[in-house]
Amino acid sequence: MAERWRSRVGWLILKIKVANPQWDPHRAPLGPDPARGRPIQLGAVSVLVATCIAIAGCQQEIPATAGPKKADPASPVARAVRVVPAAETMVARTVTATGTLAADEQVALGTKVVGRLAEISVDLGSMVRKDQPVARIDTKDYQYRLDQATAALKQARVRLGLPAAGDDDQVDLAQTAVVRQAKAQLDQAQLSRDRMARLWDQQLVARAELDAAVSALQVADSRYQDALEEVQNRQGMLLQRRSEVELVRQQLADTVILSPIDGAVVERQASVGEYLAAGAPVVTLVRLHPLRLRLSVPEREATDLRRGQPVRVIVDGDSAVYAGTVARLSPAIAEQNRTLAIEAEVPNTASRLRPGSFARAEVVVQAGERIVTVPATALVTFAGVEKVLTVKDGKSEELRVTTGRRIGDRIEIVSGVQAGQPVVDPAGNLTGGQPVTVEK
């Protein structure tokens, strides 16, 4: 290689001397050529000289295998981590299920009487109390009927000898005018028969006169019985008129539609001015407190369910946990899906829960159970594999685990970690095998 570079240098010197025959590389500097009267091109000469110098510097033999020497990488810095022990916690054993919140009662409130709707005071979402007026039917027709029935009642009272106005309908039959008149006639006929009987005994009257007196007595007695029946009939008519008055009064009262429950309006089904038949719906109400939570529990988990067991309820979009109680259990398992239908009562005094909401519930079937938990930040999940990290011999070590329930900010560890075993918290992006130091 050195010989090749020497030949190239010689060729370059020869080329310079051809351009400037008077130039001596050992003594004469580059400058103007006095014989030809023109300077040598200093730029080209300078490049050639620089090239020669570089080539000369490369004349030293370099081994073919020589190369740049790589620096050794620096030793990795140990990462400071914090470790906490896996804790043993007492928690309740639960059965988890999903279901729907339903209203304890839902009422399609309609009219009891026919008529034109004159007023409606509620709309969608209105809160109502029990016996609160919700709507009203026009009352004119019923007021006229009440006046008519009241007049008929007064007439019936007068026919029985009672004052026209009053609420006491008790009548002494013997004191009515009809009965007194019939009784007087009966008494007169009785006296006549007795007189004729004495005269007949004395042979002072004919037999025909005695027979006439007996017949008159029988007629008077029949009239008296008829008078009693007439008064009783009038008493019945009085009671009928009284019932008619009460019926019309009730119909008049029913023109005001009252809420039968405490709740809220979920649908309005009629408008002011609409003529409604009896039973036509006006609004639909639901009771908001308490609510019914309807759940379907798998057959294998249904054996421990009992009435009165506490229930923890969570609904979507609400971080709060609501308490309830198992109230009803179906007596049979559904054959279609092998589940047991149960209902829990959930208090809703603040009306934060709404009927129809999807809910997740945990039924507490056992008061206390020991489980191992770690902070949720200590758990690492990658490609569906759950693991935690611990420290062993100054390096991080991965432990594959199986998790269970989430309890607040902690995770249940079903297997993989024992109670008291230290785990790195938070795990962050730490991986197994990295040098670590434990913070005190």
Confidence of residue 20 (pLDDT cuts 50, 70, 90): low
> Which tens digits make up the pLDDT trace of 210-222?
899 999 999 999 9
If you classify domain 83-90+371-438 with CATH, what class do you get? mainly beta
> Which tens digits make up the pLDDT trace of 386-426?
999 888 888 888 899 999 878 878 888 988 888 888 898 88
Please, are residues 312 and 364 in contact by the beta-carbon 8 Å criterion?
yes
Question: Pick from 170, 167, 173, 140: which is nearest to 154 by CA?
Answer: 167
DSSP annotation of 318 reads -
Angle subtended at Cα 308 by Cα 405 and Cα 332, rounded to the nearest 5 degrees? 85
In this predicted model, which residue has the larger pLDDT, 337 or 59? Answer: 337
Q: What is the pairing mode between strands 87-103 and 106-110?
A: unpaired
Please, are residues 20 and 33 in contact by the beta-carbon 8 Å criterion?
yes
d(CA 374, CA 379): 8
Confidence of residue 34 (pLDDT cuts 50, 70, 90): very low
> Which tens digits make up the pLDDT trace of 232-260?
999 999 999 999 999 999 999 999 999 99
Domain boundaries, the chain: 2-57, 83-90+371-438, 94-103+287-367, 107-137+256-284, 140-253
Measured CA to CA in angstroms, residue 29 lies from 20, 49, 226 at distances of: 11, 12, 173
What is the mean pLDDT of the segment spanning 142-153? 95
Outline where DSSP puts E strands in 42-187.
79-81, 83-85, 87-103, 106-110, 115-120, 127-128, 133-137
What is the mean pLDDT of the segment spanning 373-383? 88
The CATH classification number of 107-137+256-284 equals: 2.40.50.100
What residues form DSSP beta bridges with 352? none
Q: Is the pLDDT of residue 430 over 80?
A: yes
Is the pTM higher than 0.85? Answer: no
Angle subtended at Cα 275 by Cα 271 and Cα 280, rounded to the nearest 5 degrees? 80
d(CA 424, CA 377): 9
Share of the chain above pLDDT 70, in %: 82
Tell me which residue has tokens 């730029």: 43
Superfamily classification of domain 94-103+287-367: Efflux pump adaptor protein, beta barrel domain (2.40.30.170)
